[in-house]
Amino acid sequence: MKYIITLACCVLTVCSTAQEVEFSISINTPRLQNTNASYFSSLEGQLREFLNNRRWTNDTYDDHEKIQCNLNLTISEELSATTFRADLDIQSSRPVYGTNYETTLINHRDQEVVFTYEDARPLIYSENAYNDNLSSILAFYVYYILGMDYDSFSLYGGDPHFGKAQEIINTLPPEVAADAGWKTTANGKNRYFMIENILNPRAREFRKATYNYHRQGMDIMAGDSDQAKEVLVSALKDVEAVNNDSPNSMIIQMFANAKAQEVAEIFTVAVREQKNEVYRIMTRIDPANRNKYIPIRR
């Protein structure tokens, strides 16, 4: 990927293992019929306050260390005056050492978001206690983002944060835990399986691959692109091995969603052996998006 190699250096504290979150937030209401638009302006402000002004860890961070995130909430149905069904699109990224390029860690759409919000009421999150579904969903994603970010800087460094995400699920009352977004029988495609997959002992190699891909691969791309690509290919092989053990698991799908474009761009310029291997791996773990990887073969 030419622009990774040539971009100017940015400031990055290498010894830091993660940053606090900084969300860009938008709410879309394409099917809004009854609720006043100002209601969602209020909700947007509460989302920003909840996500960006809360201290989520005990670590200290500088502004430039914050994890850059995007959250897009699209209201799909008004179930009542204060209850809504929505799609949640969420992305997070982290800087690549020696460049001003940011690599995507999460690029995920959650289509099972149902929440109740009373106008101007603050969102509250309490550890080990349930307050409301929207707060639980948001806190879950923050801790999942932190877990992925820490994992990308240090081997298995995300354990404490993935543990916090698991605790959120454990505090859900039965009627909420039965919701499609949380329940344990949702065909392996919801928030429950996100955390079940990542904490499953069989996923240790996937998390090792996450660390190697980012810290041992992407972070040396500006200085030694050939070595970096060798590491990336090895990491992708480890992801494939996890997929062979747990086909079509949620973490593999999320990896492909986050990395498809990046992998295709990096290996557009590579030796033929790497091109063939990466194309084979990515079309195997992400067959629905085979066309995304055609540039690798050129």
Each residue of 236-273: b (16+ CB within 10 Å) or e? Answer: bebbbebbeebeebbbbbbbbbbbbbbbbebbeebeee
Q: What would the pLDDT profile of 213-248 be if each residue is shown by its tens digit? A: 999 999 999 999 999 999 999 999 999 999 999 998
Q: What is the pLDDT of residue 65?
A: 81
The model's confidence at residue 209, banded by pLDDT at 50, 70 and 90, is very high
Q: How do 21-28 and 67-78 pair as beta strands?
A: parallel
Q: What is the pLDDT of residue 13?
A: 36
The model's confidence at residue 271, banded by pLDDT at 50, 70 and 90, is very high
Give residue 288's Cα distance to chain centre.
20
Cα torsion through 29, 32, 35, 41, rounded to 10: 20
The model's confidence at residue 30, banded by pLDDT at 50, 70 and 90, is confident
- Given a cut of 60, whether residue 5 has pLDDT beyond it is no
State the CB neighbour count (10 A cutoff) for residue 73. Answer: 25
Region 153-160: what's the mean pLDDT?
Answer: 97
Neighbouring residues of 207: CB distance < 8 A, sequence distance ≥ 6: 151, 155, 156, 158, 198
Region 170-185: what's the mean pLDDT?
Answer: 95
- Given a cut of 50, whether residue 9 has pLDDT beyond it is no
Choose the weakest-confidence range: 9-23, 36-50, 193-207. 9-23
Tell whether the torsion through CA atoms of 69, 46, 159 and 197 is positive or negative. negative
**The total number of residues written for the chain in this structure:** 298
What are the residue boundaries of the structural domains of the chain, listed by start? 2-199, 204-297
Cα-flanking dihedrals φ and ψ of residue 62, to 5°?
-85, 160
Q: What would the pLDDT profile of 189-204 be if each residue is shown by its tens digit? A: 999 999 999 999 989 9
Alpha-carbon distance of 52 to 46, in angstroms, equals: 10
